[in-house]
Amino acid sequence: MINVINNVKKVCYIVIWLSCLARAEDSNEIAIPIDFSVYNGEGSILLHWSISDSIKGKNAIIYSQKFGDKEFKEIAVLPSKTLFFLETNCDLGERYFYKIVIQDIQDNFFSVESENLPFGSCDLIQDQFLFNNNIQSVSNLLVMHIKDKLLPIQIGDNYSQLLEVLPTEKIKDYNWIEKFPSPILNALSETIDKTNDIISNSNFYDDIMDYESLYRNHFFLTPEMWDEQIYNTIVKLKYLVFC
């Protein structure tokens, strides 16, 4: 009986020691407020964060935990100046919790409070054939949309080149009109008219916004940034076309 009691005591001591060790390890991470947001997307989840300037960061360590799993897994170690992470190695339709740990230049570790961990869903891809890896920006997206809407009109190289630079800052230094003698402009009149119709259509803004779930995360844009870039690019495009 005495042996049994002693064994129970030993087990209790081990459990207490392990618990203290776990708390000691956790104490290496200082819980601080971190502006940490997660955004759903088709086949992706975008993470965005910011920290106080008082913390001189060296690394940002990202952990994820799929809903139903018991532990977090380290998925990325990023330079301190990186404020975005695109998660594409996620199971479609699943929800994930995320944790971020900031390592400073003195090897102190800071983490978001555990009760405020954000989560997001890796949404199902509605149509995997719609995604184009060559689309890297909002400007690219607008050009792709216009070209698709111009079909079945075949776009020549000159006009295609013009479309590529219209929504960008390059248009300011691009003497494109010199490459369009009158005969060419006359030949392109149908294409130009239809382009005007596409851009001036009242649904143009909504049509571009429909790409948000598929492309926004891949452009590393928050919903607010996405909305602002779409609006500003369309305004610039309409000004250049109709001025």
Name the residue ranges covered by the structural domains of the chain. Answer: 1-28, 32-123, 138-242
pLDDT digits (tens, 9 = 90+) for 41-93: 999 999 999 988 888 889 999 999 999 999 999 999 999 899 999 999 999 99
Q: Measured between alpha carbons, how far is 228 from 26 in angstroms, rounded to an integer?
A: 40
Please enumerate in sequence order all residues whose Cβ is within 8 A of that of 15, keeping only pairs 6 or more positions apart, or say none.
Answer: none
* Superfamily the domain 32-123 falls into: Immunoglobulins (2.60.40.10)
- Full-model pTM: 0.78
- Start-to-end CA distance of the chain, whole Å, equals 96
| Cα-only R_g, the chain | 27
Q: Which of 110-114, 139-143, 212-216 has the highest mean pLDDT?
A: 212-216
